[in-house]
Structure 1
């Protein structure tokens, strides 16, 4: 491989992360994960990509529940919280960030987000649901995928 071929080839993680994806859903653990990822992004000079995966609830939609409106409201509320936190930290804590929404289940949505955004690292909050200890959480599934370093924040 020539030097020119090598320099144009994408290689993840060689100089630290450039894009850090963090899953947010409004839960306390996801907000702690966002804070942790924000600090990591600031120290590394990386882009912080905050990702909310809007659940697709076919059963709720079949019953006439306004699922899309509800999840859109959650996304808007999350963006407002993030903007407010970024404004409070302005001048003290500068970080480049973007907010993205994807539709689907949390695991597949985060995988798609990490792939499309060319993530170098993924940060998620630990699951707060007791049943996940038995069947596996989104965090465990992301770690098993093995495509990016995954940090699980308690």
Structure 2
């Protein structure tokens, strides 16, 4: 019949309040299920903070800063986790990451960007796995 519970959860994290809520929920779920977390920061190519050097995009230190914050936040969580930084459309990047790693679900915070709309809504419509939207 399959397994009971999750083995790997992808979590969208950008440091915002909703993404912190999603991370906390995912960490609790992972701890109860004995699962691991794959935490992803996705830098949109449309973001003004994306810099270019010699024609190649460079992500500013925000990803490194988030990785340091995650080490502090998850130090006592009791779950294995890994942080990755990606570029592209957030919903597509999270789904692609989940597909590549055969994740059981994607956890995101509820938010709305005035430029792109809701990442959670895009995932709910297109994802091929469970999507948890945390307020």
On whether the aligned pair clears a TM of 0.5, the verdict is: yes
Whether the 8 Å CA contact 1:21–1:51 is kept in 2: the answer is yes
For residue 83 of structure 1, report the CA deviation from its aligned partner.
0.3
Aligned match of 2:121: 140
1:46 aligns with 2:35: yes
Aligned residues: 132
**In the alignment, which of 84, 87, 112 is matched to residue 96 of structure 2?**
112
Q: Distance in 1 between matches of 2:34 and 2:98?
A: 18
* Unmatched 5+ stretches in structure 2: none
The reply on whether 1:86 has 2:70 as its aligned counterpart is no
Structure showing the higher strand proportion among its residues:
2
Query: Whose Rg is larger?
Result: 1
For the residues of structure 2 that align with 1:28 and 1:58, how far apart are their CA atoms?
A: 19
1:120 Cα deviation from its structure 2 partner: 0.2
Q: How does 1:93-132 map to 2 (within 5 A)?
A: 93-129=77-113, 131=114
8 Å CA contact retained: 1:29, 1:128 = no
Distance 2:21 2:122 in 1: 20
